[in-house]
Amino acid sequence: MAQLKKLARFRDVMKEVNAKGAALYKNPVGTEDLVILSPYAINYIHSYAEDSPFFLGLARGKIMGSECKACHYRYATPRSHCMNCGAETEWFTLPNEGRVHSWTTCYYGGEEFLKETPFNLALVEFDGVDTLLLARLKGAKEADMFIGMKVKAVFRRPPRYLVSDVHFVPSEKPRKN
- If binding is defined by CB under 5 A, does position 68 make contact with Zn ion? yes
Answer yes or no: are the C-beta atoms of 38 and 56 closer than 8 Å. no
Q: What is the DSSP string of 110-159?
A: -HHHHTT-SEEEEEEE-TT-SS-EEEEE-S--GGG--TT-EEEEEE-SS-
The dihedral over CA atoms of 166, 170, 131, 88, expressed in degrees to the nearest 10, equals -30
Residues 95-114 that bind Zn ion (CB under 5 A): none
My answer on whether omega of the bond before 28 falls inside 30° of 0, hence cis, is: no
- If binding is defined by CB under 5 A, does position 85 make contact with Zn ion? yes
- If binding is defined by CB under 5 A, does position 84 make contact with Zn ion? yes
Segment interacting with Zn ion, rule: CB under 5 A, options 22-30, 50-58, 87-95, 161-169? 87-95
In the complex with Zn ion, the residue whose CB is nearer, 71 or 147, is 71
- If binding is defined by CB under 5 A, does position 82 make contact with Zn ion? yes
Segment interacting with Zn ion, rule: CB under 5 A, options 13-21, 30-38, 67-75, 140-148? 67-75
Segment interacting with Zn ion, rule: CB under 5 A, options 36-44, 76-84, 140-148, 163-171? 76-84
- If binding is defined by CB under 5 A, does position 71 make contact with Zn ion? yes
Question: What are the beta bridge partners of residue 153?
Answer: 168
- Count of residues engaged in binding Zn ion, rule: CB under 5 A: 8
- If binding is defined by CB under 5 A, does position 123 make contact with Zn ion? no
- If binding is defined by CB under 5 A, does position 93 make contact with Zn ion? no
In the complex with Zn ion, the residue whose CB is nearer, 30 or 128, is 128
Residue ranges that bind Zn ion, judged by CB under 5 A: 68, 70-71, 73, 82, 84-85, 87
